[in-house]
Amino acid sequence: MNNRPAPELADLRTRIERLEQTGRPDCGVLPFGVGPLDAALPQGGLARGALHEVAGGGDGAVDGAVAALFVAGIAARLPGQILWCVTRPDLFAPALQQAGLDPGRVLYVEAGDEKSLLACFEEGLRHGGIGAVVGEVARLSMTASRRLQLAAETSGVMGLAVRRWRRATDAADFGQPTAATTRWRVSPQPSSPLPAPGVGRPRWFVELIRCRAGDCADFTLEACDEKGRLALPAQLADRPAVSAPRRRRAAA
């Protein structure tokens, strides 16, 4: 079967996109710089004026450590100040610096409860003069996420919701629909063994669970380096030549 989209279809797509974009500034995207990851996202990167949800898998749903670093890596590659809203102040700033997020760029907001956290989150998105707003929330209803998404669309600021629950059983909440543009789940994976004793660069299993105008996908990636960049694991990037032709056909 010929997978190449017909020119009429492409034309239709751009027209629909233009209809959807009416009245909104096009804020562009932030590419990850990792080929397969950017290819899975509609415009070749993470949309700027939009809300994105990230949760950790397994225990990460409660401690949110992996999700926080994933988000810090994204925020590190955006210019400007970052507003980071939390209810539980257990984030360790040196780790964010190691993910490329300079401490002088982060402004922390310690909200008393989820409600005021969402209010601060929205306020930050509406302000428009900052790079991104990160909010560590447990419950994110359709209404709340819609407000955040609209605020992000008007100002062009990227909203990053780190979903983090009190108990592991509450994480079933992640199945509920929200208005976020993309939804990610990031879980740790065993790192590749080193020739000497020790631990290597952390490896993440990154699932793109939901993506507006795009398909679901999952990736195995090396964690953020000191500039906040993800990378493909060495054996995937330089895979044996046997599998290469098949892959090319599938992508054509």
**What does the binding site for another protein look like in residue numbers (CB under 8 A)?**
58-60, 63-70, 72, 80-81, 83, 90-99, 103-104, 106-112, 116, 119-120, 123-124, 127-130, 187-191, 193-194, 197-200, 202-203, 223, 226
Structure tokens of 19? 């209809």
**Is the four-CA dihedral 232, 212, 156, 111 of positive or negative sign?**
negative
Distance of CA 143 to the CA centre of its chain: 20
Residue among 83, 72, 71 at smallest CA distance from 124: 83
In the complex, what is the shortest distance from the CB of residue 243 to another protein, in angstroms, rounded to a whole number? 24
In the complex, what is the shortest distance from the CB of residue 168 to another protein, in angstroms, rounded to a whole number? 11
Distance of CA 58 to the CA centre of its chain: 18
- Of 23 and 197, which CB lies nearer to another protein in the complex structure? 197
- Of 31 and 188, which CB lies nearer to another protein in the complex structure? 188
- Of 179 and 204, which CB lies nearer to another protein in the complex structure? 204
- Of 5 and 80, which CB lies nearer to another protein in the complex structure? 80
Residue among 148, 139, 147, 136 at smallest CA distance from 87: 136
- Please name the helix (run of DSSP H) or strand (run of DSSP E) that holds residue 8, with its range, or none: helix 7-20
Please give the Cα distance from 181 to 29 (Å, whole number).
12
In the complex, what is the shortest distance from the CB of residue 12 to another protein, in angstroms, rounded to a whole number? 38
- Of 94 and 245, which CB lies nearer to another protein in the complex structure? 94
In the complex, what is the shortest distance from the CB of residue 28 to another protein, in angstroms, rounded to a whole number? 17
Cα–Cα distances in angstroms (integers) from residue 93 to residues 125, 141, 146, in the given order: 22, 29, 30
In the complex, what is the shortest distance from the CB of residue 81 to another protein, in angstroms, rounded to a whole number? 5
In the complex, what is the shortest distance from the CB of residue 224 to another protein, in angstroms, rounded to a whole number? 8
Distance of CA 219 to the CA centre of its chain: 13
- Of 148 and 179, which CB lies nearer to another protein in the complex structure? 148
Cβ neighbourhood burial of 103 (10 Å; 0-12, 13-18, 19+): exposed
- Of 140 and 223, which CB lies nearer to another protein in the complex structure? 223
Structure tokens of 59? 């225990």
In the complex, what is the shortest distance from the CB of residue 31 to another protein, in angstroms, rounded to a whole number? 21
Bridge-based pairing of strands 158-163 and 51-56 is: parallel
